[in-house]
Copies of this chain bind each other. A is one copy, B any other.
């Protein structure tokens, strides 16, 4: 029997989930839930339906795993606990500092409902977390480095768009090669924020706007840009659309560690991603973990789980024998 999936929220991530389900023949999309008028939302999957978000409760028992595609700032803190009381769920909550609080809220509701709720699934948090974890248990004496990019940061692009006189903007986070090479060499450098990444901004300004003022406001914006070397390019709306329409991302997780009687031997573990589409890759990770969530639920588990709790084998539709003979 196929794993019956619901998608709650149909933006970039939700569409990515729909595509990923089609690449996994053991998964089946049942319904998409949206806060927009359902008749205004067209989906690509024959046989699946579009419902209003308020109708979700009617699907209790008809959906094995609900994948929640809301934003971390205000949607997921409300949606995930609420939906976890009705369904097994997966979300991609990515506000690192608030994960313990989110975990506690989701755990309580998932346990009440007898469901499995997996939070913070994707690539960071998600696969990057897993790789930091594995590298850390293997090399307890060592140092972790994470670099992001080259990729589009949605939060930073939004911050630029809020500046007076800005019509649209795209911000790229770019790791600095020199820093990456220093880490890979095993030199264990201490790197400041400015030494790890640069930020490059493509901005469409209103006609007649004061570009010098906009550039200054960007470069001096605390938290977002002030600690980085930032470059600002003013371009036309057409150029932004033509040259900066994609949503690439990626990054590097590196651990440099030591072993030996006198810790005389160095080891470098590196995991990296180069992604044409950030939401589609995130979706692909989530769909694999949705499979595991369903298995854990079928085994009688309940409560909030993370990627650290999942035996890898649960992520695959293949049998243990197939996996051992082909991949071990």
* Chain A interface residues (CB < 8 Å from chain B): 16, 19-20, 23-24, 44, 96, 99-100, 103, 120, 125, 127, 129-134, 136-141, 184, 259-261, 265-277, 280-281, 283-285, 288, 291, 306-313, 315-316, 320-321, 323-325, 327-328
Contact = CB atoms under 8 A, between A and B. Distances in A.
Contact of A133 (B306, B316, B321): B316
Count of this chain's copies in the oligomeric assembly:
2
Contact of A259 (B137, B138, B277, B315): B277
A119 to B, nearest CB: 9
A127 to B, nearest CB: 7
B270 A103 contact: no
Given A138-B288, A316-B133, A308 B280 contact: no
B103 A324 contact: yes
Contacts of A132: 327
- Select the residue from A24, A277, A291 with max chain B CB neighbours within 10 A: A277
Given A141-B23, A281-B259, A328 B99 contact: yes
B315 A134 contact: yes
21 contacts: A19-B259, A23-B140, A23-B141, A23-B259, A99-B328, A100-B324, A127-B134, A130-B312, A134-B315, A137-B288, A138-B284, A138-B288, A184-B274, A259-B277, A260-B280, A265-B280, A267-B274, A269-B272, A270-B273, A308-B320, A311-B311
B324 A261 contact: no
Interface core residue of A19, A131, A308 (most chain B CB under 10 Å): A308
Contact of A327 (B133, B260, B268): B133
